[in-house]
Structure 1
Amino acid sequence: MTERTDVFDRRYGEVLLVTATEDGPQAQVYCSFPLNDCPAELWDKLDAEAIAKEHGAIAALLNGPRHWLMSSIEKDAQGQPDTREFGGIEMMHQATVTLSSMNPAPYSVNQVDRKTVFNFDAGRPVFELIDPQEQRWVMQTYSQAVDVSLGLTSLPDLAARLTLPDGWRYETRILTERLSVDTTTRDAHVTQDNFANSYSWEF
């Protein structure tokens, strides 16, 4: 396991290369982290259609820019890293996602094979969705794809802006002990809100 520390609020972007499988659409996720901070002048010029054609995918999805909200990431490296360049941005393969659809709706769940541990340290705020079964989903990244002005200071008051399904709620709390989401031996369950912020089920 390798660990990246002090990743809180680090900027990154992702390119998802989508293929068709018997189980539905599947995406290979390439991420600019930890190679670079996804320079805006390059990210803004990415052409999803051209990327898909170049890499033999049925579609390419641009996911970002985003910012991490955990304190550290532990990664179970699987062999030699697979790196590619998209519009001048070097990215590394980090996960495989089984998509619920080609255009997943907010609050739908995707399964992600990422073999990581996300650690949220005590004393830091976390932003959580609680579903009707009282399961907690912790925000792992916030996105500026929908609202470019969204930032850390916006998150405590986000509840008033969310379009939550019936029975869901949004809460903010300060951790009194470390919260770890360990998906090294099982798929992560990930959902997004209507601002494209991503949340992991805490199990």
Structure 2
Amino acid sequence: MSVAPATGLRAGRYGEVLLLRQHADAFIADVYNSYGLNDCPQAQWSALDATRIAAENQALIAVLNGPRYWLMDSIAQQNAGDVPREIRTFGGIAMFKAATVEIADPQPQLGGYAPHAVNRRTVFTFDAGSEVYELVDPDGTHWVMQSWSQQVDLTLVETDLAGLGTRLRPPPGWHYLVTSLSSALDVDTRNVDAAVLQDELLNSYSRRTG
């Protein structure tokens, strides 16, 4: 079952901590997200020590992913009301366990236009009238930006996103597309793993579904 969606997310600020662990022959990252608990205060975020976080949480490594800002308008999560959320605190920043991610490399590199699977069981909704930013790969698959990042460019703001097509350098055959939605767009991954990739500025994109 799904509970009522969280709304008003667009431009909401958050940070994530990924805790990497080994599972059989694969590597899995538990993703903890601060959204809804706090706004990922910059002073506390800047003070986080990934090595210390990994040691304190018995993880192989910890990856700091943020600060970031949502671009979808709402999120509904499958089974969100069934069990209490798992909450941990990292350097004074409270975060809830939002998803698990399959990682091929035990030293994951963010960015690079390489997709990975995310078990999040959600519907991301972009409302009619919203402007969306997409990468289109050589096969014609659309990847819609779900969040933008200030990790590489601390000055990047939402109004810059429409012009990123002149700045990004994706692999050959890819292009950047800006669209104003005439109807709502759902990225529905309640029953399948999401596919997510990042550009060189560490903005994150989900493969469109349906």
Normalised-by-shorter TM-score class: over 0.9
* Equivalent in the alignment of 2:188: 182
Q: CA deviation at 1:20?
A: 1.6
Q: CA deviation at 1:11?
A: 0.1
CA contact (8 A) 1:100 1:109 kept: no
CA contact (8 A) 1:100 1:108 kept: no
Q: Residue 88 in 1 paired to residue 62 in 2?
A: no
Matched AA of 2:108 = N
* Equivalent in the alignment of 1:72: 74
Matched AA of 2:145 = M
Q: CA deviation at 1:75?
A: 1.3
Which stretches of structure 1, 4 residues or more, deviate above 6 A after TM superposition?
A: none
Could you tell me how far apart the structure 2 residues matched to 1:162 and 1:100 are?
A: 25
Matched AA of 1:135 = T
Aligned-residue Cα RMSD (Å) equals: 1.0
* Equivalent in the alignment of 1:4: 6
Q: Secondary structure of 1:49's partner?
A: helix
How many residue pairs were aligned?
A: 203
Q: CA deviation at 1:103?
A: 2.1
1:157 counterpart (150, 154, 163): 163
* The 10-residue stretch of structure 1 (73-82 or 88-97) with the greater mean CA deviation from structure 2: 73-82
CA contact (8 A) 1:15 1:30 kept: yes
Q: Residue 145 in 1 paired to residue 185 in 2?
A: no
* Equivalent in the alignment of 1:51: 53
Q: Secondary structure of 1:61's partner?
A: strand
Deviation sequence 1:143-182 (CA, Å, 0-9, x none): 0001001111110110111111011000101000000001
Give the 3 Å change call, closer, same or farther, for CA 108–159 of structure 1 in structure 2. Answer: same
Q: CA deviation at 1:22?
A: 2.8
Could you tell me how far apart the structure 2 residues matched to 1:171 and 1:58 are?
A: 37
Could you tell me how far apart the structure 2 residues matched to 1:31 and 1:21 are?
A: 22
Q: Secondary structure of 1:17's partner?
A: strand
Could you tell me how far apart the structure 2 residues matched to 1:26 and 1:172 are?
A: 33
* Equivalent in the alignment of 1:32: 34
Could you tell me how far apart the structure 1 residues matched to 2:126 and 2:102 are?
A: 25
Q: CA deviation at 1:21?
A: 2.3
- The TM-score, its normalising length taken from structure 1, stands at 0.97
Could you tell me how far apart the structure 2 residues matched to 1:123 and 1:29 are?
A: 30
Matched AA of 1:47 = D
2:108 counterpart (103, 107, 110): 103
Identical columns (%) = 46
Q: Name stretches of at least 5 consecutive residues in structure 1 with no aligned partner.
A: none
